[in-house]
Amino acid sequence: MSGSDWGVTAAPWRRVTPEWNNLPVLMELTQPVGRETMSAFKWKTLVGVSAVLLSIGMSTYAAPCTNASLIGSYGIQEQGMHTDSAGVFSEFRSIGTISFNGQGAGTKNDTLWFLDFTVSPSQNTVTYVVRSDCRFTFTYDSNGESFEGVIVANGTKLLYMETSGDPVRNGQAEKIKTQQ
């Protein structure tokens, strides 16, 4: 059976001789006889999509994270529920910064807005630990409130939630670009 019986034709840039008929790398596959060949555009698209999928697959494997994976300053935005001194739940929002030193310590400075329209600045020192799977915990040194999170987007974004302290709090942070 020859290559032409399988619907194989030479790529337009290649002159076909009998010995080339069995080299599919240099051939262009066609649909069954009577239908037009797969266009160059379709082949380029197929090759391009394959390359993208391959690069995504390769980029999902990254070196393990460490405390050094969190270094620098991040802009933060949080929302949640807070219990006041009377034990009443109150909704709040906050915005500010959190900075990590790459060695397990940092500071968090933010402004909280409460449902009753009070605004309160807040400053905390934090201790943190990053696990190899890029999940991390950080704890306020002053009151022990703790958070669980994950490092995403090559370290440029953090997603986290409170696991002790306020009944509900979640936040996100994005790396602040510095002048170079």
Q: Are 113 and 90 in contact (CB under 8 A)?
A: no
Whether 87 has a pLDDT exceeding 80, the answer reads yes
Provide the whole-model pTM.
0.63
Q: 128 exposed, middle or buried (CB, 10 Å; 0-12, 13-18, 19+)? A: buried
| Mean residue pLDDT across the chain | 77
Separation of first and last alpha carbons in the chain: 65
What would the mean pLDDT of 132-161 be, rounded to a whole number? Answer: 95
Interatomic CA distance for residues 139 and 106, integer angstroms: 10
Whether 25 has a pLDDT exceeding 90, the answer reads no
Alpha helix stretches (DSSP H) within 4-111: 40-59
Q: How confident is the model at residue 44 (pLDDT cuts 50, 70, 90)?
A: low
Q: Are 126 and 162 in contact (CB under 8 A)?
A: no
Q: What pLDDT does 89 receive?
A: 85
What would the mean pLDDT of 100-108 be, rounded to a whole number? Answer: 97
Interatomic CA distance for residues 29 and 9, integer angstroms: 7
Q: What pLDDT does 27 receive?
A: 40
Q: What pLDDT does 31 receive?
A: 43
**Concatenated DSSP letters of 77-102:** EEEEEEE-TTS-EEEEEEEEEEEEES
CA distances from 35 to 2, 30, 39, 47, 146 (A): 19, 8, 12, 22, 65
